[in-house]
A = this chain, B = another copy of it.
Amino acid sequence: MAVRVDLNISLDGYATTTDQTPENPFGDDWGRLVAAYTATRTFRERVLGDRSGEGTTGVDDRYGAAYFEGIGAEIMGAGMFGLHNFPDDEDWRGWWGEEPPFRVPVFVLTHGRARPSIEFDNGTVFHFLDVSPEEALARAAEAAGGEDVRVGGGVTTVRSFLAAGLVDRLHVAIAPILLGRGLSLWEDLRGLEDGRTVTSEVAESGVVHVTFARD
């Protein structure tokens, strides 16, 4: 069992965007940050349910397909699930509609906002926990049945798992853009390369894929 993280970041390290406005609630930066990934055939099939076979099939798609392979459980922060946006909406079921792309148990760290589990027909089950990274990982590892556990995001949750030394493989897809502000993945991670092998690869899109793998 390995603990894996995959994140899209800008060249200046930002994993979040800050250009949302009432008129443009998602902003333009998020689309630019993840453009190479959302263009892949894997994303279109797995996340959008597009069976047309369209989408890119190069290096970005290889990482996109690997993202879903061998994952038995996922952990995410309250923000990624949407609890900060909809704290009082007990019917909130996440951003992903009725076919969340996870298809495995997902453990949401609630920071005090526990709620009943939510089960979907495709195998995705959201469980809500108010525990430490270590405890969440123990729960997720048990649910994963020997397969890997992903820490999905957001960046604050990822950083807490990295700081606790719990991540075996970190893959960042670096978009060649500078966002200038937001939440940085790299803050306080001095020496993360110690005891890890770092490999890099440039995709056709211009995205640079960097992987830190524990030796």
Binding site for B on A (CB under 8 A): 11-13, 176-181, 184, 186, 188-193, 198-202, 206, 208, 210
Extra pairs beyond A177-B193, A181-B190 (9, CB < 8 Å): A12-B186, A13-B13, A176-B198, A176-B200, A177-B198, A178-B186, A178-B192, A178-B193, A208-B210
Chain A interface SS verdict (over half): loop
> What is the copy number of this chain in the assembly?
2
Could you tell me the distance between the alpha carbons of A189 and B180 in the complex, rounded to whole angstroms?
Answer: 6
Per CB-CB distance, the 7 closest pairs between chain A and chain B, nearest first, are A180-B190, A12-B186, A176-B198, A200-B202, A178-B192, A178-B189, A200-B208
Could you tell me the distance between the alpha carbons of A184 and B200 in the complex, rounded to whole angstroms?
Answer: 21
A60 nearest CB across to chain B (Å): 13
What residues of B have a CB within 8 angstroms of the CB of A179 in the complex?
A: 190
A175 nearest CB across to chain B (Å): 9
Among B13, B190, B198, which residue has its beta carbon within 8 angstroms of that of A206? B198
Could you tell me the distance between the alpha carbons of A177 and B179 in the complex, rounded to whole angstroms?
Answer: 21
Could you tell me the distance between the alpha carbons of A12 and B206 in the complex, rounded to whole angstroms?
Answer: 19
The residue in chain B whose Cβ has the minimal distance to the Cβ of A199 is: B206
What residues of B have a CB within 8 angstroms of the CB of A11 in the complex?
A: 186, 210
What residues of B have a CB within 8 angstroms of the CB of A180 in the complex?
A: 186, 188-191
Could you tell me the distance between the alpha carbons of A56 and B208 in the complex, rounded to whole angstroms?
Answer: 23
Instruction: Report which residue of A11, A189, A191 has the largest number of chain B beta carbons within 10 angstroms of its beta carbon.
Output: A11
Among B176, B184, B188, B190, which residue has its beta carbon within 8 angstroms of that of A193? B176
Instruction: Report which residue of A178, A191, A202 has the largest number of chain B beta carbons within 10 angstroms of its beta carbon.
Output: A178
What residues of B have a CB within 8 angstroms of the CB of A200 in the complex?
A: 176, 202, 206, 208
State whether A208 and B206 are in contact (beta carbons under 8 Å apart), knowing that A190-B181, A191-B178 are contacts in the complex.
no
A140 nearest CB across to chain B (Å): 26
A-B contact pairs, 24 of them (CB 8 A): A11-B210, A12-B13, A12-B184, A12-B189, A13-B13, A13-B186, A176-B193, A176-B198, A176-B210, A177-B193, A178-B186, A178-B189, A178-B190, A178-B192, A180-B186, A180-B188, A180-B191, A198-B206, A199-B206, A200-B206, A200-B208, A201-B202, A202-B202, A208-B208
